[in-house]
Structure 1
Amino acid sequence: MSPLNSADFTNDSIVHPDFFFISGFAGIPHTNYYYVFMGFVYALTVVGNTFVMFMIYTDHCLHSPKYIVVFNLALCDLGVSTALIPPLIDTFLFKSQLITFKACLTNMFFVFGFLNMQSFTLTFLSYDRCVAICFPLRYYEIVTNKSMLVITATLWIIAGLAILIAVIFMSRLSFCKSTVINSYFCDHGPTFRLACNDNTPNYVISHSHPVLIFWLPLLFITVTYICIGRALLKIAAASERLKAMQTCTSHLILVSVFYLPICITFAMGASIHQNARIINTSLGTVLPPMLNPIIYSLKTEEFRESIKKLYRRKNISVTVWNK
């Protein structure tokens, strides 16, 4: 069966393919090992982020504005990994590289929706740190559980609408020639470029979306840390300054892990080989969700204390049971 519908293409008709073909890692040697590695990454991601959400949900000491955002980040990490890795393994390890048009748009919506929210959540965490250090006496007045929930819900709406608009415009395109997507999932750019009718709105979206979702949040994070740096310089005691800086280390590591691969890919532009771009973007997308819970577990004092309390409760329960 031809991947294209049998309807004749005219200027006024919209032709959607029955299937797209995900080319993915074609031409890259030893990819089976890479898929096994992806499965390992996904397993760690699920365990780590589920554990973070469990700890925040069960420990009332973590029911604070900051950890509402951390819970949301863990949820986004779990979502984007689930939208990417299981379909990737199914597509390439089991040689099922055909995907229906509707399934492709659905995959695109969830992958980019969760990625959008990851970026927004990291930005939101920088706001939390900025208020905590620049306005410590007013922190609990400005940053409340209610305000965090309202802002988080607003960001979810913005993130969803941003990709929903892209998906709607994608559904208005006709595909009457190639249906081979040069990516490892239904990526927006490689997909809309296959269209044979006017794709100007999609082109505009592909250039404006990174600005809204990545570059503006990264600029906001940079500005907040400039403000944090100026506030730290006003702290006379070196020990207090160091203590304040340490509250930012976990967030700075998360920001670096998430944004550096994106910056490298954009900086190299067209000069980067297609296979290198695919490997770089795939690793840059799936590794941060795996690393984020590890970073928070090791770098955040409140979270370490919560884990210790859980461990002590478990030991007490075991001792009582043995008696």
Structure 2
Amino acid sequence: MENQTIEYLLVLNGMSDLPSLQLPLFLVFLLIYFMTLTGNLLILYLIITDSHLQTPMYFFLGTLACLDISYSSVTAPRMLFDLLRKRRSISVQACITQIYFFICFGVSETIVLAVMSYDRYIAICRPLHYMQIMNWNVCVQIVSGMLVFSGLYSLMHTLFLSKLTFCSSNVLQSFFCDLPQLLQVSCSDTFINALLIFLSGIIFQLGIVGVTFFPYITIITTVLKIPSRNMRSKAFSTCSSHLTVVFIFYSTIIFNYFLLNTNNVTEEKVASVFYAILDPFLNPLIYSLRNQELKMSIRRALQKL
């Protein structure tokens, strides 16, 4: 039974079983993936080259852009490759590896979004102490700690996954390996895995959601008291873009893991596309369209050409 996990191949159901849709879907998602890479690399380029953007806020935005590139690259290339072939098999080891990086980058993104909320809270509510609290050493330590924690958190889940056995032909109703779906097709007792997901998810997510949303109560109160209309507009522009990204990220995950009817394969695939493919694509668009400083930086970069 243990050796079956080494040789056994899982089958990904993919985006569509209709041959006529394979090429159109490939072209659409190839374009989305290319635009995801381009948008996030553009944000990274602006942050590195524009001295106006070399602040802790944009340091974390650059970190988010790196994570979006990594997050989408875990699933999109494999999905594009599978759209060009008939049989979409994947080994158990490769599936668990994909889950490891998917969880790792996903958890890292939730932490960065929470840190960005705290960063906005310090900048708006305690501006005189901003550079003392959010200095570069602190920023680097936060990102380093985030990566270590995310790696260990993901490793915990994948180590328990490696103990499972797969003793019959199983098809994952998705275009990539996801943790709940892999548990569904295992013939082992997955109670410990499910309990681990529930407990760690509750403890981690409640803490992260609190850190992400609680500062905005004070932020909104403080911004409304600012006498200058331009300063209020600038503060709201940076906060609104971050809140929009947070809302899209959490709403797609909540819908997929808590509200989705798992008997409907089409709904499940649509939800997976949103949080695995479209979220990293939308983030740079939201920040570039709603953030005034980024738009000014783009204009300055274009003027230099």
TM-score above 0.5: yes
One-letter code of the match for 2:4?
V
Number of the residue aligned with 2:217: 226
For residue 185 of structure 1, report the CA deviation from its aligned partner: 0.8
Number of the residue aligned with 2:71: 80
Number of the residue aligned with 2:105: 114
Q: Which residue of 153, 161, 170 corresponds with 1:179?
A: 170
> Could you list the runs of 5+ residues in structure 2 that have no partner in the other structure?
none
One-letter code of the match for 1:140?
M
1:120, 1:213 within 8 Å by CA — same for their partners in 2?
no
**Rg bigger for which structure?**
1
- Provide the rounded CA distance (Å) in 1 between the counterparts of 2:286 and 2:184: 38
Superposed counterparts of 1:29-40, under 5 Å? 31-32=21-22, 33-40=24-31
- Provide the rounded CA distance (Å) in 1 between the counterparts of 2:173 and 2:99: 14
Matched, 1:71 2:34: no
For residue 236 of structure 1, report the CA deviation from its aligned partner: 4.6
- Structure 1 residues 37 and 219 mapped into 2: Cα distance closer, same or farther (>3 Å)? farther
1:24, 1:184 within 8 Å by CA — same for their partners in 2?
yes
- Provide the rounded CA distance (Å) in 2 between the counterparts of 1:249 and 1:70: 14
1:49, 1:77 within 8 Å by CA — same for their partners in 2?
yes
Q: Which residue of 15, 21, 28 corresponds with 2:4?
A: 15
Which range moves more in the overlay, 229-238 or 305-314?
A: 229-238
DSSP 3-state at the match of 2:168: coil
- Provide the rounded CA distance (Å) in 1 between the counterparts of 2:252 and 2:223: 29
DSSP 3-state at the match of 1:99: strand
For residue 261 of structure 1, report the CA deviation from its aligned partner: 1.6
- Structure 1 residues 103 and 38 mapped into 2: Cα distance closer, same or farther (>3 Å)? same
For residue 88 of structure 1, report the CA deviation from its aligned partner: 0.7
How many residue pairs get aligned? The number is 303
2:82, 2:88 within 8 Å by CA — same for their partners in 1?
yes
- Provide the rounded CA distance (Å) in 2 between the counterparts of 1:242 and 1:304: 15
Matched, 1:25 2:52: no
Q: Please give the per-residue CA displacement for 1:23-80, whole angstroms capped at 9, x wherever unaligned.
A: 2335689642333321111010111111111121222332211111111101011011
- Provide the rounded CA distance (Å) in 2 between the counterparts of 1:137 and 1:92: 54
Number of the residue aligned with 2:129: 138
Which range moves more in the overlay, 285-294 or 121-130?
A: 285-294
Q: Which residue of 284, 287, 298 corresponds with 1:296?
A: 287
- Provide the rounded CA distance (Å) in 2 between the counterparts of 1:207 and 1:22: 25
Matched, 1:263 2:254: yes
Matched, 1:90 2:90: no
Q: Please give the per-residue CA displacement for 1:168-226, whole angstroms capped at 9, x wherever unaligned.
A: 11111111124322222111111123222332221123323443554542332221111
- Provide the rounded CA distance (Å) in 1 between the counterparts of 2:197 and 2:169: 20
Q: Please give the per-residue CA displacement for 1:231-276, whole angstroms capped at 9, x wherever unaligned.
A: 2344355554344222312111211221222233345243662221
- Provide the rounded CA distance (Å) in 1 between the counterparts of 2:287 and 2:204: 23
For residue 229 of structure 1, report the CA deviation from its aligned partner: 2.0
1:109, 1:164 within 8 Å by CA — same for their partners in 2?
yes
1:48, 1:294 within 8 Å by CA — same for their partners in 2?
yes
Number of the residue aligned with 1:61: 52
Number of the residue aligned with 1:317: none
Q: Which residue of 265, 277, 280 corresponds with 2:271?
A: 280
Q: Which residue of 119, 138, 159 corresponds with 1:128?
A: 119
- Provide the rounded CA distance (Å) in 2 between the counterparts of 1:75 and 1:290: 12
DSSP 3-state at the match of 2:199: helix
Which range moves more in the overlay, 202-211 or 55-64?
A: 202-211
1:119, 1:213 within 8 Å by CA — same for their partners in 2?
no
Sequence identity percentage: 28
One-letter code of the match for 2:12?
I
- Provide the rounded CA distance (Å) in 2 between the counterparts of 1:212 and 1:47: 35
- Structure 1 residues 310 and 269 mapped into 2: Cα distance closer, same or farther (>3 Å)? closer
- Structure 1 residues 29 and 254 mapped into 2: Cα distance closer, same or farther (>3 Å)? farther
> Could you list the runs of 5+ residues in structure 1 that have no partner in the other structure?
1-8, 315-323
Number of the residue aligned with 1:211: 202
For residue 311 of structure 1, report the CA deviation from its aligned partner: 1.9
2:8, 2:92 within 8 Å by CA — same for their partners in 1?
yes
